[in-house]
């Protein structure tokens, strides 16, 4: 009995939960992407000793 009620409940609110979860995942992925890019930029500056990479000179 309780499983049928749970399925109906989840089905009813499913889109809202999926959208909210996607928003959270996208926010986390954006933060991770920015952090990775920043670390890569800093690593590149440390390795070459100057800001512009080799292919931009």
State the Cα–Cα distance between residues 35 and 51, nearest whole angstrom.
18
pLDDT of residue 12: 59
Answer yes or no: are the C-beta atoms of 7 and 14 closer than 8 Å: no
- Host H or E run for residue 38: helix 2-48
Please tell me the pTM assigned to this model.
Answer: 0.51
Identify which of 30, 27, 29, 51 has the alpha carbon closest to the alpha carbon of residue 40. 51
User: What are the tens digits of pLDDT across the range 3-44?
Assistant: 555 444 555 567 778 888 888 999 999 999 999 999 998 888
pLDDT of residue 37: 96
pLDDT of residue 56: 67
pLDDT of residue 3: 54
Neighbours of 46 (CB within 10 A): 8
Residue 48 pLDDT greater than 80, yes or no: no
């Amino acid at each position: 009995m309780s499983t049928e009620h749970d399925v109906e409940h989840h089905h009813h609110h499913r889109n809202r939960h999926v959208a909210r979860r996607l928003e959270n995942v996208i926010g986390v992925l954006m933060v991770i992407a920015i952090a990775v890019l920043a670390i890569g930029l800093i690593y590149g500056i440390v390795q070459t000793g100057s800001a512009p990479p080799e292919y931009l000179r």
